[in-house]
Structures are given as C-alpha cells and as structure tokens.
Chain A
Amino acid sequence: MENKKQVFGKMEVSKNSFKTLSEPVKQFGGLVGIIILIFLTFFVLNNIFGEGDELVAKMKIEEERIAQERKLNKLISSLPSGVLVSFDGTDNFKLSDELYEAVCKATKLIPQRAIMGANFLNFRAHEIYTINGNKIDETFVKWDDEKNKCFAGFVVSGKNVGVDETITVSGEALSFLSTGIDTRVYFIKNF
C-alpha cells in the first residue's frame, strides 16, 4: 500500500515537473517522440514485410541472368545468318571454341529437321514419334564443361504397340542455324 502511494507520488511529481517545462522543450520532446514512434513503426513493419537481403540476393541472380542473356543476344546478332558448324571441311561459318560454347548456351530451340535426323538413327524413337503425332515431350541443349562439348536432345513418349515407352535421344550438337534473331540446333550427332 505504502509502495503504491510512493509510486503514485512519484508519478504526480514527474507530471508536475513535465507541466513546469517550458513550451519549446515540451515541443522538442514531442518531436523526438514522434520520430521515435515512426522509427518503431517502421521497425515492426520491416520485421513483417522487409526482405532486404533476400530480395537483393534474388534480384542479383536475376540481374546476372538478364545481363548474360543480353550478352548472348548481342553475340547472336553479330553472327552471320546460315549454318554455323563446329568442324572443318565445309563452306559454312566455322565457330571458334569460345563461340561454339556461347552459341550452345544461347540456343534454346531444336527444330523438327534436327529431331527427324536424329530419329533416323533411333528406330524406336522414330516409331513413338510418328505414332503419337510428332509429339515431343521435352528438348534440351546443354554445355558439358567436362567434355567441352555441346549436347542436345529430346524426349519422346507414348504408346508403342500398347506399351508406354519414354525414350531420350541425345547427342553432340555439331552445327547450328543462325536466323539473325536466334540460333537453333541444326544437326545432332547421336551415333
């Protein structure tokens, strides 16, 4: 009881001493109070919504991806239109090792011509491909760092004589077709 009285007494004293403060000091105190309040509110909001570092990390990856894509696009637009090969002995444009790697990384498309060519050497894949209305499940173009080669391939799946089958056809992409806008795999050596 005594303690409570003391607390109330102290509160009363501090209230009175606040009242005795001059107007500018009170106003300054109010200003500081408002700034602290804003700060606290932002702090709480940051804990709920802020993703500062994570977002930076995510966006950096995105930024790099776009930068890389732009670089590759620039490279593609500088290539001559037509067939680009990675081997000697033809009149087509011969890709240097660096260019071969860059074109491989920039290439996304495998046209039907290359697929049909690869299928000639894989009878079962050819069967599934034609039976299922020339349907391709998936295509891929990958650069193999160990072998320093570009690999391209595709996956066909469907019923073949009543049996569900999935076949992956893959081989070295030896030549590409440059259209000026993009590059496509021209020949897959799957033998």
Chain B
Amino acid sequence: MELIKKYPKLFQWLFLLIVFFALCFAIDVPETYKFIRGQAEFVKDPNQSSYIFLGKEVRYYAFDVFWRLPPLLGWLPIWINDSLFFLMNEWMPMEFWNEDTQEFKTRPLLLQISRNLTSFMTFLIELIREILLGGLETIVAFTSWDWIDKNPWAELPGLPWTIVAAGAAILSYKLSGKGLALFAGLTMIYISIFGQWKPSMQTLSFILVAAPLSFIFGLGLGIAAFKSKRVEKALYPILLVMQTMPQYAVLVPALVLFGVGDHAAVIITMVVAVPPMILLTILGLRAIPPEVIEAGRMSGCNNWQLMLKVLIPTARRDILIGVNQVIMVCFSMAVISAFIGAKGLGFNLLLALNQLNIGLALEAGLCISLIAILLDKMSLAWANKQTDYFGNLTFLQRNKNILFFASTVAIGIILAYVGTFLFKDTFNYLFEVPHNKGLSTADFWNKGVDWIFDTFFVYIKAFNTWLIQDVLQPMRALYLRMPAIATLVLVVGSGYLIGGVRSALVVCALTLFIALSPWWDRALVTAYMATFGVVISCIIGFTVGTLCFQNKHSTSFMLGVCDIFQTFPSFVYLIPVMMLFGITDTSVLIAVIVYATIPATRYTIEGLRSVPTGLHDAATMSGVNKFQRLTKIEFPLAFPHMMLGLNQTIVFALFMVIIGAFIGTEDLGQYILKALSDKNGAGIGLTLGICVAFIGLIFDNLIRTWVGQRKKHLGID
C-alpha cells in the first residue's frame, strides 16, 4: 500500500498494462482469421457482411468486434472518389472559349480550373527549363510554329554548363565564402562530366518553380495566420496532419486532379512544402519583441508598412530557414513525384532502381544529394548572412560579384563557341555533356554489388533469415495478435495518464479513425515496422549522441554528419541497402534505422547541450564525477528534449516505412503504391495517408503532452 501511495503513477501504468495483456489473452484469435487474411482483400465473397451508407456499399468480414472493429469508415474512400469524379466531370458545367478549336466548349468548372492551372505550371517549368537547357516551346507560346520556322534564331540556346557552374560558385562565395564556392564549383563540374547535366537541370527547373511559389503561398498564409486567430485555427489541423502525412499519399489525389507530368508534381510539391513555410513564418513573426512592433508603430507605420518594413525584416532569419525547409522538401519530392511523371534525376533514379541497376541509381542519387546539400548550405548561409546597412562601399565593391558573373558569362559563351570548332564532329562538351556521353562509374558499382553478393552471400542470407524468422516475424505476429479493444484501451489509457481527458479523447479519435477504416491490420504491420526501426534508431542515436557530446569536436562533427544525412532525399537511402541486402524487409528496416537515427542523434546532442552550463559547474563543485553528472543531472534535464527527438524519429521512421513499399512490404505503404496505379485510387490513397498521419499524430500528441508536463515539472519551460 505504501508503495502505491509513493508511486501512484507507476501503479496506474501497471494497472493499464495488466488490463491490456489480460484482454490480449482473454480474446482469442478467431479460428478463421489467418485464413481470411490469406484471401485477397476487397474480393466479393458471399461470406462477407455488408452495409450501405450514403449510397455506398461496404463489404467486410464480421469478426467479433472485440477482435476487429467493423470498417464503419469503409465508405469514406469510395465517397472521396465519387466526389472527386463528380467535381471533375459534372459539377458546374460552363461554357469556355477554346483557343484551338475557336469555339465555346462546355466543361465542368473544376476541370477548367485544373487545366488552366496545369497549363500555367507547364509554361513556368518549360520557361525555366529552356533558359537552362534551351528549346523553343516558350517562344512558340507567344508566337507560333510558323513564326519560329521563319525565325530559327529566336530559339532559346540554353546556358553552357560552365556559366551555371561559375554562377553557382560566385553566388556561394558571396553567401558564405571560399569553402562553399569550391564545393559549388566541384558539384557542378561533377554533375556535368558525369553526364547528369540535363536531368539535373530538369530537376532544378522543377524546384525553381515549386520553391518560389511555395515560399509566396507559405509566407502569405503564415502572415494571415499571424494576423487572424481564425485563420490560424483553420490552418492548424491541416498543418498538423500534413507534417506527418507521407508524401506518397498526396500523389494519388493529385493524379486525379492534375494528371501526370511535371506540372502535377509542382502542384503537389507545393502542397507538401507550404506547411513548413507557414509554420516557420508564424514562429518568426511571433518571436518579434513587442518593443520592435511598438517602435514601428511610433514611427508612423501603417499596417502594411509595419509588416513589410518592420516585421518581415525582423523575422528574416526564421523566414529564410523556412525557405531552406521548402527547398529540402522540394528535393525529396523531386524523387517521389517521379512516380507521377516528373522528369529529371528523380525519374532516372527510380528507373535505375526499377531495373536494379544500383550503379546508375547511385550516380543519380549522388547528384541529387550533392545539389540538395549545396542548396541547403546556400540557403542557410543566406539566412544567417547579416546585411550591412552602414557600410560605405564604392560601386565596384558593391557590385563586384555581379561583374564577376558578367565576365564569366562572357567567358562561358566564348568557350562554348570555341567548343563548336574543337568538337566539330561530335558533341560540344564545353556547352553540355550529353546524358550517355559523360563518365560513368555505374559498371564499377554494379560489379561491386556483385562482388558483395558473391563474397558475403552466405553471411547476408544468414543474417536476413535470422532477422526475418527470429525477430521480425514473431514481432509482426505479436502486433497482429492484439485485439482492437486491447489496443484502444492501451492507447486511450496512455493518453489519459499522460495528458488527462483531453489527450485521451484526441488519441481515441485518431485511433478510432484507423480502427474503423478497412486497413487496421495493415496499420498494425506499419506500426510494427516503425516500432522496430524506432527502437533500434533510438538505441543507436542516444548512444552515439551521448558519446559524441563528451567532446566538442566530435559534437560538431556529428551535428555536421546529421546535417548532411538529413539533406539526402529519403529515396536515396534505399540504394545502399538494396546493394547489400537485396529486395527484402531487412533492406527497408535498415533504411528506416539509418534515416530515423539522424533525429535521434541530433536531439540527444542538442538536448544535452541545452543543459545550462551553470548546472555543470555546480555539479563539478559538488564533487560528482563525469558519469554521475551525466546520469543524475544531464540526462534528466535533457530527457524532454530527447523525447522530442523520439517524436521526430517516429515521423521519420513512418515516412521511410511507407517509402519502403517500393521495395515490397505489406503495410499501408504498399496499398498507397497500389492506389497510384488504380484509376479509383484517389480516395484509398488519401484515406491511407491520413491513417499513417494519424499513427504519427497519436505518438506526437502523447510525447508532446508528456514533454510539456515534464518541462513544467523541471522548471525549464
């Protein structure tokens, strides 16, 4: 009794766990459950029960409800599909003028809007692509094919790679200095001589359209949310879901609305990239001291002037970090949107992975990663660069970089012209190295992969077999063995114990959404894979982070490594694991572990760094040794921050598990991938995406609530 009084929370948790396990043991697996799971899903089986809601028939196997809830939300994907179909094909038909046929044509309003939007996006992409690579579509858009036939000189020539490389180096020098300039120059040279120029510029053109548009929308919505509580409240749930929604899932409705191609990819990238921009804009504007606003008002600023001349410049750093995030999201989407036909490096990477040509995939992946790192560093340098308002500089000093660039443009043009003579009978390598004419290390890597397989096949197979048979399968079986009621009791009970009734209600609603969808079993498989990845990532991340924290140099080195790894688009992680482990669940899980270890390590280091130095000194003065200081002071104080890392680790792991469907898993991701090739897949894809987002949000809610309380308790809020 004394123990219960002393540790009431512990007792409550124990009680919850006992109820959970009691339910797990009390509720038997239905005899035919395995058999039903073995059957194809969504087949019309006379043994299924059915109900009709909103005119949609939902078929399901009526298990004991304590074991599995009926899919009462099974109508939702069908309803979303039908609604989209109705909106796109029947809603508000109107007369629109058709330029090609020179007559009015009846079209539904949404279809017309979507077509106009896609033509606008296509125009922007083509414009930038033709500035970089040359072409005539843009000129034709303003003139005609006949005109361009008569005036072939008007065709855009494209930029020689030397000019782009020099431009990138000069811009990097201006933003950060010699180091970044050298990196930018070498990256561009690498891309060019390895024949990846064209796909790289295609990707870059896609990003140069998506990123500025995302920035404008994100900034606008962020300002609106900052100004109006109503807008913020309306945006909040969307932002929350979008943060944990796998990017794959958003692709499917985009296919229905905007079709296939670069334009659809740009629009969908904007959907994914705008939320972080909004969040960082709100964060930046909120952090402005009231004195600054007062000073602006006292200077006689009206609302617009206050926003444009005072608030935005003051919040510049956070806004530019938002730009950095937008660019990173654009890069990760550059690969994922290759699934809906976006051209460029992502498409090449996907093609190479599909052909199991690891060498080619590695080359494309390396290019994407290098450009991503470069743009990440450039945008961060821009964010951190202080504007010198008081420097009394001459015209030459102020504009030396522009002058440098102008001269490199001239040199680049001359070189390209000389190239026409030098490479008279072949390609002008001083203008552009064609895709299949550059250097290639693909053969070397492919042979390396073969060698790895030949040499280590026995060990890799043994490891694979052990992991799958002795670890993954039993773990998967355990998750699938959980009755719905036991899972709900555990999740809602945890919510109640951590955050009270409010938190319990939130997690209950989120869990019920998944449990009442037709994919509860798949969600459990997703949860099992993510759990495995998170547990291993946390062990590695917390250990590595703690060890690195002991030394200043290793800390900054590890943070640098985390920075670089975080910049890689998530798809790139699949390449090395496929090299080593082939197409198995092990590959996906190892990719999950590598990807999810980054936030675990970073937050551990940052958590430990956040412990006030005063406490270190106080501890040293009290005579504690290093280990005691770590376990008694640093860990307890850093733990809330480390738990935020766990939160990020879960989100990262979920993202990677979903992407892993590309290799072949049987979780929710696999169904999202299937929905991509299904003409009625929009509803399914979106609902599945929401399910994954809700898994993330359940943990997010529990962890954030706990962290908030813990910080309050420790007085470090």
Binding site for B on A (CB under 8 A): 24-25, 27-28, 30-31, 34-35, 38-39, 42, 45-46, 49-52, 54-56, 58-60, 62-63
CB closest chain-B residue, reference A28: B12
- Residue B65 is within 8 A (CB to CB) of chain A in the complex: yes
Once the chains bind, are A55 and B32 in contact (CB under 8 Å)? Answer: yes
- Residue B9 is within 8 A (CB to CB) of chain A in the complex: yes
Once the chains bind, are A56 and B30 in contact (CB under 8 Å)? Answer: yes
Among the 9-residue stretches B129-137, B271-279, B491-499, the one with 4 or more Cβ atoms under 8 Å from chain A is B491-499
Once the chains bind, are A30 and B496 in contact (CB under 8 Å)? Answer: yes
What are 11 sample pairs from A and B whose C-beta atoms fall under 8 A apart? A24-B9, A27-B496, A35-B489, A38-B489, A45-B69, A51-B63, A52-B62, A52-B64, A59-B47, A59-B61, A63-B32
Residue of A27, A35, A63 most packed against chain B (CB within 10 A): A35
Measured between alpha carbons, how far is A30 from B500 in the docked complex, in Å? 9
Once the chains bind, are B30 and A52 in contact (CB under 8 Å)? Answer: yes
User: B9, B32, B49, B65: which contacts A45 (Cβ < 8 A)?
Assistant: B65
Once the chains bind, are A38 and B47 in contact (CB under 8 Å)? Answer: no
**Residues of chain B lying within 8 A (CB to CB) of residue A38:** 485, 488-489, 492
CB closest chain-A residue, reference B7: A24
Measured between alpha carbons, how far is A16 from B64 in the docked complex, in Å? 42
**Residues of chain B lying within 8 A (CB to CB) of residue A28:** 8, 11-12, 15
User: A30, A34, A39, A50: which contacts B62 (Cβ < 8 A)?
Assistant: A50
Measured between alpha carbons, how far is A31 from B500 in the docked complex, in Å? 9
**Residues of chain A lying within 8 A (CB to CB) of residue B9:** 24
Once the chains bind, are B47 and A27 in contact (CB under 8 Å)? Answer: no
User: A31, A51, A52, A60: which contacts B16 (Cβ < 8 A)?
Assistant: A31
**Residues of chain B lying within 8 A (CB to CB) of residue A58:** 47
Q: What is the distance, in angstroms, from B506's C-beta to the closest C-beta of chain A?
A: 13
CB closest chain-B residue, reference A37: B492
Q: What is the distance, in angstroms, from B21's C-beta to the closest C-beta of chain A?
A: 13
Measured between alpha carbons, how far is A106 from B401 in the docked complex, in Å? 84
Q: What is the distance, in angstroms, from A101's C-beta to the closest C-beta of chain B?
A: 26
Measured between alpha carbons, how far is A27 from B8 in the docked complex, in Å? 9
The verdict on A51 contacting B35 (CB below 8 Å), with A28-B12, A45-B65, A46-B65 known, is no
Once the chains bind, are B35 and A63 in contact (CB under 8 Å)? Answer: yes
**Residues of chain A lying within 8 A (CB to CB) of residue B64:** 46, 50, 52
Once the chains bind, are B63 and A31 in contact (CB under 8 Å)? Answer: no
**Residues of chain A lying within 8 A (CB to CB) of residue B36:** 59
Once the chains bind, are A42 and B32 in contact (CB under 8 Å)? Answer: no
Query: Quick one: which of B60-89 are within 8 Å of A by CB?
Result: 61-67, 69-70
- Residue B504 is within 8 A (CB to CB) of chain A in the complex: yes
**Residues of chain B lying within 8 A (CB to CB) of residue A51:** 49, 62-63
Once the chains bind, are B70 and A45 in contact (CB under 8 Å)? Answer: yes
The verdict on A55 contacting B61 (CB below 8 Å), with A31-B15, A31-B497 known, is yes
- Residue B31 is within 8 A (CB to CB) of chain A in the complex: yes
**Residues of chain A lying within 8 A (CB to CB) of residue B182:** none
Once the chains bind, are B32 and A60 in contact (CB under 8 Å)? Answer: yes
User: A27, A30, A35, A42: which contacts B66 (Cβ < 8 A)?
Assistant: A42
Measured between alpha carbons, how far is A24 from B488 in the docked complex, in Å? 22
Measured between alpha carbons, how far is A2 from B504 in the docked complex, in Å? 41
Measured between alpha carbons, how far is A38 from B488 in the docked complex, in Å? 8
Once the chains bind, are A50 and B12 in contact (CB under 8 Å)? Answer: no
User: B32, B45, B485: which contacts A39 (Cβ < 8 A)?
Assistant: B485
Q: What is the distance, in angstroms, from A52's C-beta to the closest C-beta of chain B?
A: 4
- Residue B501 is within 8 A (CB to CB) of chain A in the complex: yes
Number of residues of chain B lying within 8 A (CB) of chain A: 35
Q: What is the distance, in angstroms, from A38's C-beta to the closest C-beta of chain B?
A: 6
User: A42, A55, A63: which contacts B63 (Cβ < 8 A)?
Assistant: A55
**Residues of chain B lying within 8 A (CB to CB) of residue A25:** 8
The verdict on A35 contacting B65 (CB below 8 Å), with A28-B12, A60-B32, A63-B32 known, is no
Interface of B (DSSP majority class):
helix
Measured between alpha carbons, how far is A145 from B32 in the docked complex, in Å? 30
Q: What is the distance, in angstroms, from B26's C-beta to the closest C-beta of chain A?
A: 12
Once the chains bind, are A59 and B19 in contact (CB under 8 Å)? Answer: no
Query: Quick one: which of B530-575 are within 8 Å of A by CB?
Result: none
CB closest chain-B residue, reference A47: B65
Once the chains bind, are B32 and A56 in contact (CB under 8 Å)? Answer: yes
**Residues of chain B lying within 8 A (CB to CB) of residue A56:** 30-32
Measured between alpha carbons, how far is A16 from B65 in the docked complex, in Å? 39
Q: What is the distance, in angstroms, from B639's C-beta to the closest C-beta of chain A?
A: 22
Residue of B30, B62, B69 most packed against chain A (CB within 10 A): B62
Measured between alpha carbons, how far is A25 from B8 in the docked complex, in Å? 8
**Residues of chain A lying within 8 A (CB to CB) of residue B30:** 52, 55-56
**Residues of chain A lying within 8 A (CB to CB) of residue B67:** 52
Once the chains bind, are B63 and A60 in contact (CB under 8 Å)? Answer: no
**Residues of chain A lying within 8 A (CB to CB) of residue B49:** 49, 51, 55
Query: Quick one: which of B105-160 are within 8 Å of A by CB?
Result: none
Measured between alpha carbons, how far is A35 from B16 in the docked complex, in Å? 9
User: A34, A42, A60, A63: which contacts B493 (Cβ < 8 A)?
Assistant: A34
**Residues of chain A lying within 8 A (CB to CB) of residue B66:** 42, 46, 50
**Residues of chain B lying within 8 A (CB to CB) of residue A59:** 31-32, 35-36, 47, 61
- Pairs A-B, 4 closest by C-beta atoms: A24-B8, A51-B62, A59-B32, A52-B64
Measured between alpha carbons, how far is A62 from B65 in the docked complex, in Å? 21
Q: Other CB < 8 Å A-B pairs besides A30-B501, A34-B492, A50-B65, 5 of them?
A: A27-B12, A31-B16, A31-B493, A35-B19, A59-B32
CB closest chain-A residue, reference B60: A49
Measured between alpha carbons, how far is A28 from B18 in the docked complex, in Å? 14
Query: Quick one: which of B1-52 are within 8 Å of A by CB?
Result: 5, 8-9, 11-12, 15-16, 19, 30-32, 35-36, 45, 47, 49
The verdict on A60 contacting B31 (CB below 8 Å), with A27-B8, A31-B16 known, is yes
Q: What is the distance, in angstroms, from A181's C-beta to the closest C-beta of chain B?
A: 21
User: A34, A49, A54: which contacts B496 (Cβ < 8 A)?
Assistant: A34
Measured between alpha carbons, how far is A24 from B11 in the docked complex, in Å? 10
**Residues of chain B lying within 8 A (CB to CB) of residue A62:** 32, 35, 45, 47
**Residues of chain B lying within 8 A (CB to CB) of residue A34:** 492-493, 496, 504
**Residues of chain A lying within 8 A (CB to CB) of residue B63:** 50-52, 55
**Residues of chain B lying within 8 A (CB to CB) of residue A50:** 62-66
Q: What is the distance, in angstroms, from A44's C-beta to the closest C-beta of chain B?
A: 9
User: B35, B61, B69, B493: which contacts A35 (Cβ < 8 A)?
Assistant: B493
**Residues of chain A lying within 8 A (CB to CB) of residue B15:** 28, 31
Q: What is the distance, in angstroms, from B234's C-beta to the closest C-beta of chain A?
A: 30
Q: What is the distance, in angstroms, from B399's C-beta to the closest C-beta of chain A?
A: 68
Measured between alpha carbons, how far is A31 from B20 in the docked complex, in Å? 13
Once the chains bind, are B8 and A55 in contact (CB under 8 Å)? Answer: no
User: A31, A54, A55, A60: which contacts B12 (Cβ < 8 A)?
Assistant: A31
Measured between alpha carbons, how far is A50 from B16 in the docked complex, in Å? 26
**Residues of chain A lying within 8 A (CB to CB) of residue B19:** 35
Q: What is the distance, in angstroms, from A109's C-beta to the closest C-beta of chain B?
A: 23
Q: What is the distance, in angstroms, from A29's C-beta to the closest C-beta of chain B?
A: 10
**Residues of chain B lying within 8 A (CB to CB) of residue A54:** 62
CB closest chain-B residue, reference A24: B8
**Residues of chain B lying within 8 A (CB to CB) of residue A52:** 30, 62-64, 67
User: B16, B31, B65, B497: which contacts A42 (Cβ < 8 A)?
Assistant: B65
Q: What is the distance, in angstroms, from B72's C-beta to the closest C-beta of chain A?
A: 8
Q: What is the distance, in angstroms, from A84's C-beta to the closest C-beta of chain B?
A: 32
CB closest chain-B residue, reference A49: B70
Q: What is the distance, in angstroms, from A124's C-beta to the closest C-beta of chain B?
A: 38
**Residues of chain A lying within 8 A (CB to CB) of residue B32:** 55-56, 59-60, 62-63
CB closest chain-A residue, reference B512: A41
